[in-house]
Structure 1
Amino acid sequence: MFSNKIEFKETFIKRVEMVCGKSFSESTERDYYQTLGGMIREYVSNDWIKTNERYLANKGKQVYYLSIEYLLGKLLRQNLINLGIEETVQEGLMELGIDLGKVEELEADAGLGNGGLGRLAACFLDSLASLNLPGHGHGIRYKHGLFEQKIVDGYQVELPEQWLRSGNVWEVRKADLSVKIPFWGKVESKIDNGRLVFQHLNAETVTAVPHDMPVIGYNSDTVNTLRLWNAEPEQFPFHHDILKYKRETESISEFLYPDDTHDEGKILRLKQQYLLVSASIQSIIKSYRKQHVNLDHFHQDVCIHINDTHPVLAIPELMRILIDEEGYDWEHAWDITRHTISYTNHTTLSEALEKWPTRIFQPLLPRIYMIVNEINERYCMELWEQFPGDWEYIRKLAIIADDYVRMAHLAIVGSFSVNGVAKLHTEILKNREMKDFYQLYPEKFNNKTNGIAHRRWLLKANPALASLITESIGQRWAKTPSELIQLLKYQNDSSFLDQLTKIKRENKKVLAEIIQSKNGVTVDPDAIFDVQVKRLHAYKRQLLKVLHIMYLYNRFKEDSSFSIVPRVFIFGAKASPGYYYAKKIIKLINTVAEKVNNDPSISNKLKVIFLENYRVSLAEKIFPAADLSEQISTASKEASGTGNMKFMINGALTVGTLDGANVEIRELVGDSNIFTFGLTAEQVLHYSQYGGYRSKEYYHHDNRIKQTVDQLVNGFFPGVNNEFEPIFDSLIEENDQYFVLKDFASYADTQKHIGETFTNQQVWQKKCLVNIAQAGYFSSDRTIQEYADQIWKIK
C-alpha cells in the first residue's frame, strides 16, 4: 500500500478527504483515526484472504478457540507494531502535524472482556498469528461489555460501556454468513426411512450475525480471524409480541456476564452460551463441508477448544449436528465429538464451576437437554459397570444430579484433553478438586502454564525498556522471548542498572500525572509504587493490603519517630455488579484513601490511590511504572494469574503467596528475587479440610490486628456508620475464610523487609533485571506452542 513515509502521507491525505467528504484542513482527529484504521484493515486484507486460502490448500488441522470473553484493549498501535510500519506512520503523521498518540487515544478499549480469562484469550490470538498457526477465535460481540466503572463518594457505580458509539473500524459484518439459533419450543421424534428423526417445533429463533476482525501476527504474513457473533431478530419472526421478542433477542449480545442472581439473568447467560457455541459450530462445519463430503474425519482436521466452562455446550451441540443433520448414529457421533473438543479449566473454586438448574435448561434448550441427558445416562452406566452399587460415587460424578446440569463434569467427559493453567493449579485439580475424574481419565489431564503477549506488554506498553533491551541483546527477543535470558550478563553492569532506574522513574512520572489528573492527588515518583490491579474478589485479598495500610497509618499516628520509605499504594479493580462484599471492599479502599491522603501529619509518607475503570489501556501505563507487584491471593485459590507476569517483564518485583504461577516465577528467579510470605497451598487445603484455624485467636492475640479490624466498626471512619460491618463479620464471626488474619503478620514483616531492600537501588534493580531476563518463559508464544504440539496437534 505504501513503501515509505512520502507515499504514506499522500495516500493518507487522499483517503481522509475521500472517506470523510471534507478537505484535509477541516478534518478532525476522529477522522484521522477512522481513516488510519480503515487503511490498516485494507492493507492486511490481502494477507487475510491469502491466509485463509493457504489453510484450505494445505488441508492441515485448524483450531477454533471458543471464549465468552476477549479483552483486546486498543488495536491501532499494536497492529502498526505487528506490521512493522509504526515508525513510518508515526513520522508521516508528525510531518502532517498529527500526533499518533492523540489519534490512538480516540480508540475505545473493546468491551469484550473483563479479567484474566479474556486477556489470556487475547494474548493467545496474538501468539497464534505470530507463530503462523492456523487458529481462530470465536466470541460474542457485546454492545456494552461488562460496565464502565465510576467511583462516586467511594462507591462503585456501573455505567454501560459505550465502546461501539463510533462503530468498530476493525470489524467486517458478514450478514451472508448468518445462522439461526433456536430457543424454547418442543422436540418431537418420528421414524423416517427406518431412522429415528428429531424435530424442534415452535422454537423462538434468533439470528446470529458474524462480525470478523483480523488478528495480525507480529512480523508475519499470517492474519487469522476473531469472529464475534451479534444476536439479531429474525426478519419475519412468528411471534405474538414482536417488540418483546426484539428486546429479548438484542439483550443476548448486550452485556458480558448479566447478573444471574435471578432466573431472568440465568436464562440470558444460558442463551449467550448457546448462541456462541451453536453459531460457531454451525459456521465451522459449513466451511469444513466446502471441502469434505462428510464429517468422518472431522476430529482429525478440526480441534474446538473451550476456554473455561462457558462454552461447554459445544459438546452436545456438535452431537446434535452430527446426529440430527448429518445422520450419524450415537456411537460414531460421540467418538468424533470426544476427539474434537479440548477444555481448559481456570479455577479451583467449586462455586465458580457453572451448573444450571434443569428447570431452566430443559425448556430453554429442549433438544440439547435430551442429548446431555443421554450422555449422562450412558456415562453413569459405564460408572455402574466399574463401581456396581456405589450410588453415592456415581451421583458425585454424574453430569446431571440434584436437578442441576454440571458443566465442568460435561466438559471432562466430552473432551479428549483437560488442562490446568499453572503447575500448582493442575496438581490441585488432579489430587483434590477433580481427583475422581483424574483417576478415571488420567490420560486427559495435563498442564499448560499461562503466558502473556510479551510484545503488547513490553514493546507497546514500555517502549523505552524495549529499546534498551534491543540495544543490549539485539532484536531477536521480540520473536523469540527466551532470548531475554541474555540480559543476565548485565547483572553487575552499573550503567545498565542505572538506565533501568531511569526508565522506571520516567514511567512512574507518567503514571503520577495520570493519578494527578484523575484522582487529584500528588504522588512522589521516588516513592515505592506498590500495585495491586485485578478483579475484586475476596480470595485475591485486596483486604489484606488495605488492613496493612491501616496498620501503617496507625503506627505513624502513634509514634512520631516511626519512619518508612515513602509508599504509593495503587489499586485498580472492578467488582461484579451483584457481588455485594467486593463492593464493600472498594468503598473501604476509597475511605482509607480519603483519610490517609488528607492527613497533613503523614505528609508524603503514605498515599492510597484507587484508579477507576481498570482496563487494558490503563494497565499499559500501570505495569511499566510499578515497583512492587502484589500477588497475595490465598494460596491454592488463584489458578495462575497473568498480571504477575506482566509486572515481572516490566521489572517489578513480586510480593506474593506461593500460589498459581507465583510458584513458577520463584523457581525461575530464585528465592532472593521474589518476596514470598504466608501459608502454602498445602496448609490452606489442610485447614479447609480438617479445621483448626480460629481467626478470633489472631484477633485477640495480635494488637495490630485487633486495632485495625476494630477500626472497621468503631467510628474510626466518620460518617460511614455500619458500612464495614460485613467485612468485620467475615473476618471474625465467619472465621475469615481466606486466612487474611492468619497471613497478616507474615505479610507485614515481608513488607518491612521490602522497604529496607528498596533503599539500595543497585541491589533492587539487579533483582528487577533477573525478573525481566527470566520472563521470556512466561510468553504466550511458549504456552501456545505447547498447546499446538501437545493438545491441538496443529502446525
Structure 2
Amino acid sequence: MQQALSARATYARPTSSRTARRQRAGRSLKVRSMLDISFPPKEEDTSNGVAPKLGVEASIEHELKYRVSANNTDARPVKLYQSVAWSVHDRLVDAFDQTQAYWKEKDPKHIYYLSAEFLMGRTLTNAVNNLDLGGEYAEALKKYGADLETVATGELDAALGNGGLGRLAACFLDSMASLDLPGWGYGIRYRYGMFKQGVKDGLQVELPDYWLDNGNPWEIRRPETQFKVGFYGSLEDGKWVPGEEVIAEAYDVPIPGYKTKTCGNLRLWDALAPEEFDLEAFNAGDYSKAVEQKRRADGITAVLYPNDATEEGKELRLKQQFFFVSASLQDTIARYLEQHKDLAGLPDKACFQMNDTHPTIAVAELMRLLIDEHGLSYDDAWAITTKCVAYTNHTVMPEALEKWPVRVLAKLLPRHMQLIEQINSNWLDSITGHVTAKVEAELAASDAEKQKKAAAAAEERKAALVAAEAKGEEALAAAKKVVSEEEAAEEKPADKATLVEEKLKTYSIIQENQWTKGEMLVNMAYLAVVGSFAVNGVAAIHSEIIKTDIFPHFVEIFPERFQNKTNGVTLRRWLAYCNPELSALITEALGTDEWVRDATLLAKLKPFAEDAAFRARWREVKQQKKKALAERIREQTGYQVSTEPMYDIHVKRIHEYKRQYMNAISLIHRYKVLKEMTPEQRAKAVPRVVVFGGKAASAYYMAKKIVALILSIGETVNNDPEIGDLLKVVFLPNYNVSEAELIIPAAEISQHISTAGTEASGTSNMKFALNGALIIGTLDGANIEIGENTGFENLFIFGVKADEINKLREDRKNFSDYDPRYTAALQMVSSGVFGRPEYFEDLVASITDMNRGNDWFLLANDFASYMDAQDAIDELYRDQEEWTRRSIIYTASNGFFSSDRTIDQYAREIWNVQPTPQP
C-alpha cells in the first residue's frame, strides 16, 4: 500500500542529504519506474486520507483546510483555485493509476512523443470537462460564490512551450488519451518559460517567466525514477567516460481523455546535481565551488530555448536536448525490460516520434544505449533503432533545421559524435552504388550532347579555316590561333570519381558550413531521415516541399518513407471549452454534443447557414465574445475599444516570414486614407479593431522592431481624435494559450499571411476557422486545405504561389515596381510620423535595400493583392447576413482539422499503435 500511495504523497522536492544524493547518483541503469508500483483496487485507495472518498464539494473543503490551510471564510481566489485543483488532481491520479495498471496487464505497443515543447495552457477547465465533472464542480462552487471559469484564472499557464510546435504536442496528448491510445509525452520541466513579454517605452521587454510561483497541483514528482545523464569526457577503449553527470528526475502530469477511462501521461524531467552542496569547499571558503554542481544542473532545465547566439548558448541548448532525450530513452528501455528480456522486440512495443529536429539526437543516443549499455552489436542496434524512430519535420526555415558544429557535439557528446560518423560512413557506403549509377547516367546524357556540340563546333572551325586561307597566310595564321584557343577552352570530360564524391556530399549527414569555410556541421534533419522508418510533413503543401526542396535526394532512395499528416487541434479546448456559448448553440442545432468527439458531425451545421434566425443567434454569440475581448484590451492596454467594428486578429510568433510587418504597413495606409477622407466618406468606412499578439525572440533584432512599429502605430492612431473608433490598433503583450482562448472566439477575420512556401502548416488558422472567423491568407501551409474544405470562394486569398518564389527572389535584385501606397506608408515611417525614425531605419531598409535584406519575404510583391483582399473584406462585412453565413460555413466545414483525425492517422499509418480502452 505504501508503494501505491507514494505517487500521491510526494508533491514537492524535499531537501536531500548529501549521502542520499550520492546514493542516487550511484544507481545503475536499472532504476525503479512507474510500473514497479502495485496499483491497488480503487476501493482500497484513501489518497491522503479521505479526499477520493468524498464528493466534489466535500473534497474541495477538505483540500482547502488540509492542503491549502485556509477555511471557507478565507477562500481567496488563488487558494480556492488550489483547493479545486487538488480535488481534481486526486481524481486524475485515480484514473492515471488505473490506466497504467491496465496497460501493464495488456502490454500494448506505446507511442512515446519526444518534444522540446508542450504548451499545455491551463489544466483545470480542460481536466474537469474531460472527466465529465463540469456540472458537479459548478454546483459545488456556488457555496463560495464562484464559478469554474473565474476560479480557473488563478492558474498560471505552464511555461513549457512557446508557439505552435508546443501547442500541437499538447493537442496530440489530449487526442491520444481521448482515442484510448497507449501514449506518453516526454519533455523538460522548465522552471522558466522563454520569457514573459512586457512593453516599456514602446518596446518589447523580456521578463523572467517563473510559472511555478504557486506550485503545480497537476504534477507528481517521482523521486524513485531517476537516471544518470552524462556530458563531456573522453573515450577509453571505445567506452564513453563522461566528464560531468547530472541526475534526471521524473515528474508526471496525467492527461485525461475526453469522457473515457483512459488517462495518459506527460513525463517531464528535472535536472539534479549528484552532489548539490560541497561542504568541504564551503568550509574552505570557496562558496562558488560549493554550489557549482547544483548551478550547472539547474541551468539545464532553467529556461526554455536559451539564446544560442554564443558558444555557451549553443552548448546549453544541445545539453537540454540530449538531457531529456537520454532520460526518456533510458526510462522507456528500463520499463520495457521489466516485462521483456530481449531488446530485439522493442520495435513491437515502442515507437519514438521525434517532434521536429530538437530530439533528433535520439538516433545516436538509442544506438549508444543499445550498444554500450546493453551489449548489442552495431548492426543489431541499427536494425532496432530504424524500426523504432519516426521523425516529423515542422519547418522549411533554415534556422530551424538544426546543424550543430562538429566541435560542439564532439566536445559535449564525444561518443555520439563517433557514432554519427559511423552512421554517416555506413550510409554513404550504402548509397555509393546508387549515386555512381546516377552520375554515369548524367555523364552519358551529357557526353552525347557534348559530342553533338563538338561536332558542330569542329565544322564551324573547319569552315573558318577554309575562309581564312583564301584571304592569305596572315589571316590563316590568325584563324589557326583562334581555333587553337577554342579547342583549349573546350570543356574537358568530367572525372566520374570526382563527380561521385561531390554528389555524395549532398547526402552526407556531416557537411561543411557554406558560410564558414572549414567548419563542419552535423545536419540533424539528415540524421533523423537516415535513422527513421517514417518522415512526415504537417500539411499537404509542406509535405511536397520537403520532398522537392529539403530532402529530394533522400526521396530518391526511399520514397515510401515520406508521408503527410496534416496537423489538427483538439476541439475540446479550442471550441467546446473556450467558446461554450457557441458550443451550446451547435449542440442545440445538432441535437447532440457528440461532435466534440466526432468532428465530422459539424458538417450537419451547413443547412443552418441559410436560417436567418440561427444566423442572428450566431452573431449574438460573437458579440458576447467581442465584449469579453474588449474588456481584456482595456485591462491590458488602457485602450477603450468599441464592439461594433470588425475584429481583425493577427496573433502568432513574431517573425519576418509571418509578415506582421506587411499588415502594419497596410494599417499605415488605412490610417492615411481615413485621415484624408471627408466626414461623409468616413461615415461609410468599415471600422476595425486590429489586434496583434505574439513574442519576438529576445535575440531577433528585426522582429523586435516589428513589435515596436505596431506599438508606435497604435499609439498614434488610437489617440487621434479624428479617427475615433474607425481604427484601433492594439498589441496585447504576453500572448499565450489562455489569451488565445479569449481572443480566438472574438475574431471575425484572422490573418495568416506568411510568404507562400514558408509556413509548414500553422494551427491557429484551424482554431480561428472552427470558431467561425473568416481567413485572409496566402496559399501556404494549411490555408490550402482549409480552402479546399471551406471553398476558396469563402477565403480571401492573395499573393504569389510557392513555386514562383525562387524566381521572384532573383528578380528582386532589379525590382522597382513598388505600389505607391506601399512607398507612401514606408515614407511615413521614415519621416517620423510614428516616432523613432532612426530606430526604424533598418526595418525600412530590410524591404527596400538590396544590401540590407532585399525584401526576402516579398512584401512589395504581395502588397497590392493584399490590399485588394482587404477591400473585399470591407465590402463583404457591410453585408452582415452573408458574412454570418460564411462564418457558419467555416465552422461546419473544418471538422477535418480535429487532432483526433491526425492522431488516428499517425497511429494507423506510422506508429502501428492500437486503441486500448478499459472495460
**Same fold per superposition (TM over 0.5):** yes
Conserved 8 A contact 2:59-2:87: no
Q: Residues 315-714 of structure 1 correspond to what in structure 2 (within 5 A)?
A: 315-388=363-436, 389=497, 390-402=500-512, 403-473=520-590, 474-560=592-678, 562-563=681-682, 564-688=685-809, 691-694=810-813, 696-699=815-818, 702-714=819-831
Answer with 366-375 or 635-644: which moved more: 366-375
Report the alpha carbon displacement of residue 213 of structure 1 after superposing the two structures with TM.
0.5
Task: For 2:848, give the aligned amino acid.
Answer: I
Task: For 1:107, give the aligned amino acid.
Answer: E
Q: Residues 743-758 of structure 1 correspond to what in structure 2 (within 5 A)?
A: 743-758=862-877
Report the alpha carbon displacement of residue 26 of structure 1 after superposing the two structures with TM.
3.0
Matches of 1:751 and 1:202 in 2, distance apart?
Answer: 59
1:716–1:10 CA distance, 2 compared to 1 (3 A): closer
Matches of 1:513 and 1:647 in 2, distance apart?
Answer: 20
Matches of 2:91 and 2:54 in 1, distance apart?
Answer: 17
Cα RMSD after superposing both structures: 1.8
- 1:338-384 CA deviation, whole Å, 9 max, x = no partner? 01000000011123200111111101111111111110111121232
Conserved 8 A contact 1:633-1:659: yes
- Superposition TM-score, scaled by structure 2 size: 0.83
Q: Does 1:130 pair with 2:178?
A: yes
Describe the SS at the equivalent of 2:689.
strand
Q: Which residue of 1 aligns with 2:840?
A: 724
Describe the SS at the equivalent of 2:291.
helix
Matches of 2:707 and 2:792 in 1, distance apart?
Answer: 33
Q: Which residue of 2 aligns with 1:775?
A: 894
Answer with 548-557 or 17-26: which moved more: 17-26
Matches of 1:721 and 1:631 in 2, distance apart?
Answer: 28
Conserved 8 A contact 2:56-2:87: no
Task: For 1:47, give the aligned amino acid.
Answer: A
Match among 856, 874, 887 for residue 737 of structure 1: 856
Conserved 8 A contact 1:380-1:398: yes
Matches of 2:837 and 2:65 in 1, distance apart?
Answer: 60
Report the alpha carbon displacement of residue 242 of structure 1 after superposing the two structures with TM.
4.2
Conserved 8 A contact 1:142-1:253: yes
Matches of 2:218 and 2:896 in 1, distance apart?
Answer: 31
Task: For 1:439, give the aligned amino acid.
Answer: E
- 1:298-354 CA deviation, whole Å, 9 max, x = no partner? 112110000000000111111011111111111111010001000000011123200
Q: Does 1:784 pair with 2:903?
A: yes
Matches of 1:413 and 1:45 in 2, distance apart?
Answer: 40
Task: For 2:245, give the aligned amino acid.
Answer: T
Q: For this pair of structures, how many residues does the alignment match? A: 782
Task: For 1:421, give the aligned amino acid.
Answer: V
1:45–1:6 CA distance, 2 compared to 1 (3 A): closer
Q: Which residue of 2 aligns with 1:100?
A: 148
Task: For 1:397, give the aligned amino acid.
Answer: Y
Conserved 8 A contact 2:70-2:79: no
Q: Which residue of 1 aligns with 2:267?
A: 227
Report the alpha carbon displacement of residue 52 of structure 1 after superposing the two structures with TM.
1.2
Task: For 1:672, give the aligned amino acid.
Answer: E
1:236–1:674 CA distance, 2 compared to 1 (3 A): closer
Describe the SS at the equivalent of 2:99.
helix
Conserved 8 A contact 1:636-1:685: no
Q: Which residue of 2 aligns with 1:77?
A: 125
Answer with 42-51 or 766-775: which moved more: 42-51
Report the alpha carbon displacement of residue 476 of structure 1 after superposing the two structures with TM.
1.0
Matches of 1:358 and 1:295 in 2, distance apart?
Answer: 31
Q: Does 1:56 pair with 2:97?
A: no
Matches of 1:23 and 1:500 in 2, distance apart?
Answer: 42
Task: For 1:604, give the aligned amino acid.
Answer: D
Matches of 2:181 and 2:673 in 1, distance apart?
Answer: 56
Answer with 202-211 or 125-134: which moved more: 202-211
Answer with 557-566 or 232-241: which moved more: 232-241
Conserved 8 A contact 1:695-1:732: no
Report the alpha carbon displacement of residue 183 of structure 1 after superposing the two structures with TM.
0.5
Conserved 8 A contact 1:215-1:225: yes
Matches of 2:221 and 2:273 in 1, distance apart?
Answer: 16
Describe the SS at the equivalent of 1:692.
helix
Matches of 2:813 and 2:663 in 1, distance apart?
Answer: 21
Task: For 2:134, give the aligned amino acid.
Answer: E
Matches of 1:4 and 1:263 in 2, distance apart?
Answer: 51
Task: For 1:657, give the aligned amino acid.
Answer: T
Describe the SS at the equivalent of 2:191.
coil
Report the alpha carbon displacement of residue 581 of structure 1 after superposing the two structures with TM.
0.3
Report the alpha carbon displacement of residue 781 of structure 1 after superposing the two structures with TM.
0.3
Conserved 8 A contact 1:211-1:229: yes
- Superposition TM-score, scaled by structure 1 size: 0.96
Answer with 122-131 or 430-439: which moved more: 430-439
- 1:203-250 CA deviation, whole Å, 9 max, x = no partner? 200111111000000000001110000111113799983433321210
Q: Does 1:218 pair with 2:218?
A: no
Matches of 1:747 and 1:28 in 2, distance apart?
Answer: 50
Q: Which residue of 1 aligns with 2:165?
A: 117
Q: Which residue of 2 aligns with 1:209?
A: 249
Conserved 8 A contact 2:277-2:294: no
Describe the SS at the equivalent of 1:174.
strand
Conserved 8 A contact 2:540-2:782: yes
Conserved 8 A contact 1:205-1:237: no
Q: Does 1:304 pair with 2:367?
A: no
Give % identity: 41
Q: Please list every run of 5 or more consecutive structure 2 residues that lacks an aligned counterpart in the other structure.
A: 1-41, 43-49, 282-288, 437-496, 513-519, 915-919
Conserved 8 A contact 1:380-1:394: yes
Conserved 8 A contact 2:226-2:248: yes
Q: Which residue of 1 aligns with 2:78?
A: 30
Q: Which residue of 1 aligns with 2:917?
A: none
Conserved 8 A contact 1:572-1:613: yes
Conserved 8 A contact 1:5-1:88: no
1:394–1:678 CA distance, 2 compared to 1 (3 A): same
Conserved 8 A contact 2:230-2:242: no
Conserved 8 A contact 1:695-1:742: no
Matches of 1:767 and 1:20 in 2, distance apart?
Answer: 49
1:379–1:755 CA distance, 2 compared to 1 (3 A): same
Matches of 1:143 and 1:327 in 2, distance apart?
Answer: 36
Report the alpha carbon displacement of residue 104 of structure 1 after superposing the two structures with TM.
1.0
Report the alpha carbon displacement of residue 654 of structure 1 after superposing the two structures with TM.
0.3
Q: Which residue of 1 aligns with 2:466?
A: none
- 1:535-569 CA deviation, whole Å, 9 max, x = no partner? 00000000110000000111122232544200111
Describe the SS at the equivalent of 1:228.
strand
Q: Does 1:176 pair with 2:230?
A: no
Report the alpha carbon displacement of residue 3 of structure 1 after superposing the two structures with TM.
13
Describe the SS at the equivalent of 1:206.
strand
Q: Please list every run of 5 or more consecutive structure 1 residues that lacks an aligned counterpart in the other structure.
A: 190-197
Task: For 1:774, give the aligned amino acid.
Answer: S
Matches of 1:177 and 1:34 in 2, distance apart?
Answer: 26
Conserved 8 A contact 2:231-2:242: no
